[in-house]
Chains A and B, each alone.
Chain A
Amino acid sequence: MTTVEPIDVEDGAGTVEAVGSVGTLGTSGTTGATPTPTASGPGSTHLASESGLVVPVGRGDGCPFDPPARVERVRREQPVVRARLWDGSSCWLVTRHQDVRAVLGDPRFSADATRPGFPFLTAGGREIVTNNPTFIRKDDPEHARLRRMLTADFMVKKVEAMRPEVQRIADELLDRMTDGRSAADLVAEFALPLPSLVICLLLGVPYEDHEFFQRRSGILLSLRSEPEDIRTAQQELHAYLVRLARAKRERPDDAIVSRLVARGELDDDEIASMGRLLLVAGHETTANMTALSTLALLRNPGQMARLRNDPPLIKGAVEELLRYLTIVHNGLPRLATEDVTLGGVTIRAGEGVLCTLNSANRDDEVFPDGDVLDVGRDARRHVAFGFGVHQCLGQPLARVELQIALETLLRRLPDLRLDVPFEEIRFRHDMGVYGVYALPVAW
């Protein structure tokens, strides 16, 4: 069994951050390798817009809730620029809200990572997509065909009907966490198990196996994993889900994997790829949003008090937290299939693009005083779930989970506070999905 424990990231400039494709969730791989500049890549004709940025860009010593200062500067000064990737190749960095929406909403930009020139943030990222890719890295019409097999399960009505079940899980987890104790790690005991239990229930995956798949998804999401470890983790997870699909063929239930089997349109490999995407996307994201949101509220006690005094604010507050924190923080990758003019530059067919959702969500043109967390703001136009036809399939579920998790936490633990100095919190700079590794709290 090959496992990689999360590694501490040193502070300071040069810190590497994660790659944000929620691809098979995440792209990962070696960082810190010396880039070998390749002879005139596709970008060499664009020296005028060369930014000197190497992506993923680290936050360095900046505020851990803010996008990297250098990306923010680029958004204000030169919103579409060339940036350099780990392997010396280059791509376009698209940083403004309107341009990010334009790229992600435009079918001339492909999400098919098997196309030559597709930008990867790490070597491991390339490894992930070459291995049984599913619809997150395919284009329409194939993307739509596969996605539509799942849209009914995640539609608003279905997910809203799950509220009592999600509430029950949240309450049970808090009962256990607070039983005879006054301190705990909120990530391990609440933020992670909540979405993990929910997605297991939906998929028909036995929750008892959570250590197995959480470890492997941790490897897939880490920017520091070696490509070999990525491959192993990916294969183990895949084999596990193939076995699960076979088991459902024998003993069907009414959860998603079993129903995909029953449709008879997909083979076990295709079902396993979809299951893997849902399993990884379905718990790492909400888990990190829950913990990071809690921390952001603890650091903004005025906002926390507002939310406690006015619980109906929770829906809008969750949108604002999604905007402010933008945990898929390293830029969504796309490839231009035609020449497209954007923000005053021409992106040529065959060139890669990274859309930084976190800078778009701080764009003052759309969100005045975007660097301020304001739970009363109308943040619905945020792009934390992406944009275009790949926009997060699980967003109704993520919303319900986050609304219930945060509302329940604030209501049941009125004295909730950090149990360590803020400076000791370890942020997930090196992961595709941003957040904190642990959140020691007391109440």
Chain B
Amino acid sequence: MRVHIDQEKCCGAGSCVLSAPEVFDQREEDGIVVLLDAAPPAELHDAVREAAAICPAAAITVEQVERV
């Protein structure tokens, strides 16, 4: 799995951080999303998919990659 974020779109309410704190964080200065792990391990995939689904600004996209 490959995770992409779009910091322009992000509105900083942090739902992704609640869902997958190992993968997403928020920038100290303005709360905008930062990616901690662009290729998270399999056990986090569900949490990442949930984060992408609940992101209100469609700032998270998930790409399924054969064997990363």
Q: Bound pair: A and B?
A: yes
A residues adjacent to B (C-beta < 8 A): 104-105, 144, 147-148, 151-158, 380-381, 385-393, 395-396, 399
Residues in B with CB closer than 8 Å to A388 are 56-57
Is the beta-carbon distance between B30 and A392 smaller than 8 angstroms? no
Contacts of A153 in B (CB 8 A): 31
Assuming the contacts A381-B53, A387-B56, A388-B56, asked whether A156 and B14 have C-beta atoms less than 8 A apart, the reply is yes
Question: Given contacts A152-B29, A157-B26, are A386 and B56 in contact (CB under 8 A)?
Answer: yes
State in angstroms the CA–CA spacing of A118 and B32 once bound together: 30
User: Which residues of the partner chain B approach A154 to less than 8 Å between Cβ atoms?
Assistant: 12-14, 31
**Assembled-state Cα–Cα distance A202/B27 (Å):** 20
Q: Taking CB as reference atom, which chain B residue is nearest A319?
A: B18
B11 touches A152 (CB 8 A): no
Given A148-B32, A380-B19, A380-B50, A155 and B12 touching (CB < 8 A)?
yes
Task: Contacts A391-B11, A393-B13 given; indicate if A148 touches B30 (C-beta within 8 A).
Answer: yes
Q: Is the pair A391, B56 in contact by a Cβ cutoff of 8 Å? A: yes
- Could you tell me how many residues of chain B have their Cβ less than 8 Å away from some Cβ of chain A? 23
Q: Distance in Å from the Cβ of B25 to the closest Cβ of chain A?
A: 8
B19:A147 contact, CB within 8 angstroms? no
**What B residues does A148 contact at CB under 8 A?**
12, 30-32
Q: Does B54 contact A (CB under 8 A)?
A: yes
Residues of A within 8 A of B56 (CB): 104-105, 386-389, 391
The closest CB in chain B to the CB of A154 belongs to B31
Q: Which of B19, B32, B50, B54 is within 8 Å of A151, CB to CB?
A: B32
Q: From B59, which residue of chain A is reached at the shortest CB distance?
A: A389
What residue in chain B is nearest A378 (Cβ atoms)? B50
Chain B interface residues (CB < 8 Å from chain A): 9, 11-15, 17-19, 25-32, 50, 53-54, 56-58
B54 touches A389 (CB 8 A): no
| CA of A17 to CA of B24, assembled, Å | 39
List the 5 closest pairs (A to B, CB-CB), nearest first: A151-B31, A151-B12, A155-B31, A391-B56, A156-B14
Q: List the A side residues contacting B18 at CB < 8 Å.
A: 156, 396, 399
Set of chain B residues within 8 Å of A105, measured between Cβ atoms: 56-58
Specify which of A104, A147, A396 is in contact with B14 (CB 8 Å cutoff). Answer: A396
Min CB gap B3→A, angstroms: 18
Say yes or no: A156 contacts B30, CB within 8 Å: no
Please pick, from A104, A156, A386, the residue contacting B26 in the complex, using a CB distance under 8 A.
A156
| Besides the known contacts A153-B31, A391-B56, 7 further A-B residue pairs in the complex with CB atoms under 8 A apart | A147-B11, A147-B12, A148-B31, A154-B13, A154-B31, A155-B17, A392-B13
B28 CB contacts on chain A under 8 angstroms: 152
**A268 → B minimal CB distance (Å):** 23
B26 neighbours in A (Cβ, 8 Å): 151, 155-157
Contacts of A385 in B (CB 8 A): 13
